[in-house]
Amino acid sequence: MTDKYAPRPGETVLDAEVAPDAHVQFIGVIRTPFKTRDDCPRQGRFDGPECRIEVEARFVPALQGLEPGKRLEILYWLHQSRRDLLTQSPKSDGKTRGTFALRSPVRPNPIGTSLVELVAVDGAVLTVRGLDCLDGTPLLDIKPDRCGYSVQAPDK
C-alpha cells in the first residue's frame, strides 16, 4: 500500500529525529537594532529599520520560493518574557486585562508574530522590515502572508 503522506516528488525531508510532542525547535536567530526591550517598538512597521533573519544552514532549502517585495509572517520566541501572568496592567494605560486579551510579550507561551516586508534573500539570511523584537530573539517559523502567494490547496 502506498503512504499518501509520503514525500512527493521534489520534496526534501530533514534528516533528524522529529520530536514526538509539542517541543518546538528554534530555526534561526533574529538580528535587530533593538538592544533593550525599551528600544523595541510596541509593534513593527513596514517603514521600520532593516533587520536580519539568520536561518540555520540546515533549513536553507526551506527558503526556496521566497521573493523580495513579498510579505511574510514571522513567528519568534520572546525569550526574555516572564510566563506566569494571567492578568496584566500595561504601562500604556494601566487598565487590567487578561493576558489573552493583550498582545503583550508576557504569556504562557511567549510567541510573537509580525508581518514583515521581505527586502532581500542572501543564502541563509533574509533582510526584512517590520520587526519589533530584541536582537538575538530566537526564530520559530516563517510563513507567506495569508493573502500572498501561497499555493491554493484543492478541495479534498
Separation of alpha carbons 59 and 87, rounded Å: 37
Nearer to ligand SAM, 113 or 127 (CB): 113
Separation of alpha carbons 124 and 47, rounded Å: 23
User: How many other CB atoms sit within 10 Å of the CB of residue 134?
Assistant: 20
Q: To the nearest whole angstrom, how small is the minimum distance from the Cβ of residue 75 to ligand SAM?
A: 9
Q: To the nearest whole angstrom, how small is the minimum distance from the Cβ of residue 91 to ligand SAM?
A: 10
Nearer to ligand SAM, 14 or 43 (CB): 43
Q: To the nearest whole angstrom, how small is the minimum distance from the Cβ of residue 101 to ligand SAM?
A: 13
From the list 128, 10, 15, 154, the residue with the least C-alpha distance to 66 is 128
Nearer to ligand SAM, 35 or 65 (CB): 35
Chain residues in the site for ligand SAM (CB under 6 A)? 37, 40-43, 78-81, 103-105, 112-114, 132-134, 137
- CA dihedral for 99, 40, 119, 142, sign (positive or negative): negative
